[in-house]
Amino acid sequence: MHRIFRAALSLVATLACTVAYAQDDTPIASINSPYSMYGFGSMADQSTVGRRGMGGVGYAINDGSSINLKNPASYAAIDSLTMLIDAGISLYTTRLSNGTTSTSAKNASFDYVALQFRLCKGLGVALAYLPFSKVGYNFSTSERVNNSQAPGIDFGSNTYSYTGTGGLQQLMLGLGWRPFDGLSIGVNASFMHGTIDRTLSVSSTNTSSYGFTRTQQLKVKDYKIDFGLQYAKAVKEHHRIGVGLFYSMGHDMNSDATIAYLKNSSSSVISYDEASVAGGVAMPHIFGGGLSYTYDDRLTVAADYTMQMWGDKAFLGSKAMTDRSIYNIGAEYVHDTKSKRYLSTIRYRVGAYYSDPYVMINGHKGAREWGVSLGFAFPLVQNKSLVQVSGQYVKVSSSAEAIGLDEDMFKISVGITFNERWFMKMKVR
């Protein structure tokens, strides 16, 4: 029992440090994307490393050997002797291009930490800390200043500098209950918090012109409630199908937003004003569903669909939001998990996804996103624990009327899933 206590204490300490890190206005996960200028930023991947290798599927998956944060009903699948601890990090390189110029950036992120165990018969519990959204960008544009009334005079040029940092994180507690064989229901309750800072600075090469800086800060502290259902049935020997449903409750969020304006010359501050931003922010209603097929516990194929109802929501008074659809498909194959040949116990995964934007940019839909992935799960020798690895190629793009910017991302995620039978009673001879 003391091993369980030490593990739980270690996870709590990790979560506490992570919360303190995020409360210090530093995002849990770094990003470099001009598309995170809008709304809550870029939506974070809610999947663990293992599920990312399968394209992010999870609504109908409940194997009990790994943590599935996408549907809380899956927590009920864990057996009475097992405790799971999972954590993941990512390394990625991004290439940004507008058709004429391009630039590259490298980033690393801590993605999540999670714990799952059985509380009593048919009831599993999970605790996790993970990002909900990420904001990170730093770029500049320049343009010549023209005056039609004085065509022969050089007014110099203006430089517009855009920076953004922060994001929203969630500390999540979930329960999954299996009332009878085949059916599971679950709920996640999350504490949402975070700070998003966005700054626009305008400077001029003309010394007689004034500079200008606008800073907007959004702070959020609120809740998020998710519900899930799963049903699995063996249709004949070695063949099993599963169905999963998901719903996240939409609501207005507790938030505080301010905006500050600074006007300055080359040598002094001319004026400074700060005010609260009218309007608030809200979470959308989210509906999801998925199907899975499993053959002989060796081959699993799954597909998910998600609808996020952003269209009737506003962000700080702006109605530039739109409903978002997400499609995921993936598969996993393992030859024999009980084989003495190590290569036969490795899990191989493949997947793909497509996502619509949730924000409008310049009156047009924002960035579409699609990606393909490969994944592997390497078991530790004489142990059910796994080293999870996934590789993803992600393409993000929008029309020229929006931004006309392409992002090509190559992402490597690594996770460790500790699967220990810590609740087993030892026999005394």
Question: In the chain, what are the domain boundaries?
Answer: 2-420
More confident call, 27 vs 198? 198
Q: Is the pLDDT of residue 25 over 60?
A: no
Q: Is the pLDDT of residue 128 over 90?
A: yes
Q: What is the pLDDT of residues 327-362, one digit of tens each?
A: 999 999 999 988 889 999 999 999 999 999 999 999
Q: Is the pLDDT of residue 148 over 60?
A: no
Q: Is the pLDDT of residue 22 over 50?
A: no
Q: What is the pLDDT of residues 73-89, one digit of tens each?
A: 999 998 877 889 999 99
146 in helix, strand or coil? coil
Q: Is the pLDDT of residue 326 over 60?
A: yes
pLDDT at 273: 82
Q: How far, in Å, CA of 116 to CA of 175, rounded? A: 10
Residues 157-173 have a mean pLDDT of 93
Residues 6+ positions from 420 with CB-CB distance below 8 Å:
3, 7, 82, 83, 384, 385
Instruction: Decide: 322 and 270 in contact? Cβ < 8 Å.
Output: no
Q: What is the 3-state composition of the chain as percent helix, strand, coil, each rounded to the nearest 5?
A: 10, 60, 30
Instruction: Decide: 227 and 274 in contact? Cβ < 8 Å.
Output: no
Instruction: Decide: 234 and 242 in contact? Cβ < 8 Å.
Output: no
pLDDT at 102: 87
pLDDT band with cut points at 50, 70 and 90 for residue 4: very low
Between 143-147, 303-307, 374-378, the lowest mean confidence (pLDDT) is in 143-147
Residues 357-374 have a mean pLDDT of 94
Tokens of 337: 């998990």
Q: Is the pLDDT of residue 9 over 50?
A: no
pLDDT at 24: 45
Fold of 2-420: Porin (2.40.160)
Instruction: Decide: 396 and 360 in contact? Cβ < 8 Å.
Output: no
Q: What is the pLDDT of residues 240-284, one digit of tens each?
A: 999 999 999 999 999 999 999 888 766 666 777 888 887 889 999
254 pairs with which residues across the strands? none
pLDDT at 152: 59
Residue recorded with tokens 């070695």: 238
Q: How far, in Å, CA of 345 to CA of 366, rounded? A: 42
DSSP 180-247: ETTEEEEEEEEEEEEEEEEEEEEEES-TTSPEEEEEEEEEEEEEEEEEEEEEEEEEETTEEEEEEEEE
Burial bucket for residue 212 (CB in 10 Å: 0-12, 13-18, 19+): middle
pLDDT band with cut points at 50, 70 and 90 for residue 424: low
Q: How far, in Å, CA of 215 to CA of 322, rounded? A: 25
Q: What is the pLDDT of residues 275-314, one digit of tens each?
A: 888 788 999 999 999 999 999 999 999 999 999 999 999 9
Residues 53-69 have a mean pLDDT of 94
pLDDT at 79: 82
In percent, the amount of the chain with pLDDT more than 70 equals 86
Q: How far, in Å, CA of 382 to CA of 378, rounded? A: 12
